[in-house]
Amino acid sequence: MNLGPKKFLLYAILIIASLTFLYPFYWMILASVTPEENIGKLVFSPQGLTLSHYKDMIVKIPIWSALFNSVLVASLSTFGVLVFGSMTGYALAKMRFKGRNLLFFAIIFTMTLPFQITLIPNYILMVNFKWVDTLTALIVPALNSAFAILLFRQAFMTIPDDLIHAAKVDGCGELRIIFQVLWPNIIPSIITVAILTFMTSWNDVLWPLIVIREEGLMTMPQLVTLFAVGGRAEAQLGVKLASAVLLALPIIIAFIFLQKYFIQSMASSGIKT
């Protein structure tokens, strides 16, 4: 390969830049298996190997129940957003009813509303519903998303009405039309919404910090946060980093296999906002 000086510089910059983005994760994973007294010396090469941080972490915090809670909350939220989002999106795209424009306006309004306005009243609502310290508080408010509705609405608008008429002639109800006839035609939108919702739910930490106090009900990011800021890690670096690795790992693995979808989904969410 013949590189001119300009090309060489270009590659050098890009390679250094990607190392800046990848190296910290390399360091974190390596540090999580390095004996505590050597972490300070760790730069590139391994300084001994131990699994004790992971063993300590399992003893100190209920990490498995947190993992279970996170998977449950993220899955159910994603399921709700997919189902309710396509129902509302379908109604807006293909049905005529009084107040349709008002509903559409309300959804746009919701999207421009800073979440800071609804945060505290929503907490008070949870207190009154007696949902504080239940997973319901994490799941139910996350079952709908204005962004998903708008995305599904757009996807359904591209589908010709004839397809829906034909299904109606065959005796399909609206729900069957949405989920059996139309869903197979909008797979890319479904993937986008699923990835964004799951990832948002998995990484969310502010709302769990507010409504969950009991350790056994915490999600991963919340448990890891409290472990890191509270005295529980007893200033032990390795254990803190081990819990951070465990929190990041599922998303890193998903990202490695679904890079293209992750990038497309996030880019489309950015462009639409």
| Position 119 contacts other proteins (CB under 8 A) | yes
Q: Which of 125, 163, 166, 187 binds other proteins (CB under 8 A)?
A: 125
DSSP code of 47? -
| Position 143 contacts other proteins (CB under 8 A) | yes
CB of 160 to other proteins, least distance (A): 20
Q: Quick one: which H or E segment has residue 199?
A: helix 187-203
> From CA 28, how far away is CA 252, in angstroms rounded?
13
Largest Cα span, the chain = 73
CB of 158 to other proteins, least distance (A): 19
Q: Looking only at residues 221 through 240 of this chain, which bind other proteins when binding is defined by CB under 8 A?
A: 221, 224-225, 228-229, 237, 240
Region of 171 please: left (phi>0), alpha (psi -120 to 50) or beta. Answer: left
Instruction: Annotate each residue in 13-52 with x if it binds other proteins (CB under 8 A) or - if it does not, as one string.
Output: xx--xx-xxx-xx-xx--x-------xxxxx---------
| Position 88 contacts other proteins (CB under 8 A) | yes
CB of 166 to other proteins, least distance (A): 19
For 165, residues 6+ apart whose C-beta sits below 8 A from its C-beta are: none
Q: Which of 127, 163, 166, 187 binds other proteins (CB under 8 A)?
A: 127
Instruction: Report the 10 Å Cβ neighbour count for 216.
Output: 11
| Position 118 contacts other proteins (CB under 8 A) | yes
The dihedral formed by the CA atoms of 12, 16, 21 and 25, expressed in degrees to the nearest 10: 130
| Position 96 contacts other proteins (CB under 8 A) | yes
Region of 229 please: left (phi>0), alpha (psi -120 to 50) or beta. Answer: alpha
CB of 264 to other proteins, least distance (A): 9
Instruction: Annotate each residue in 180-209 with x if it binds other proteins (CB under 8 A) or - if it does not, as one string.
Output: -------------------x--xx-xx--x
Give the residue with the Cβ less far from other proteins, 50 or 110.
110
| Position 122 contacts other proteins (CB under 8 A) | yes
Provide φ and ψ at 134, rounded to 5°: -135, 155
Span from 49-57, 159-167, 183-191, 245-253 in contact with other proteins (CB under 8 A):
245-253
Number of residues that bind other proteins (CB under 8 A): 84
Identify whether the C-beta of residue 3 lies closer than 8 Å to the C-beta of residue 11: yes
Instruction: Annotate each residue in 54-83 with x if it binds other proteins (CB under 8 A) or - if it does not, as one string.
Output: ------------------------------
Q: 173-197 burial, b if ≥16 CB within 10 A, otherwise e?
A: eeeebbeebbbeebeebbebbbbbb
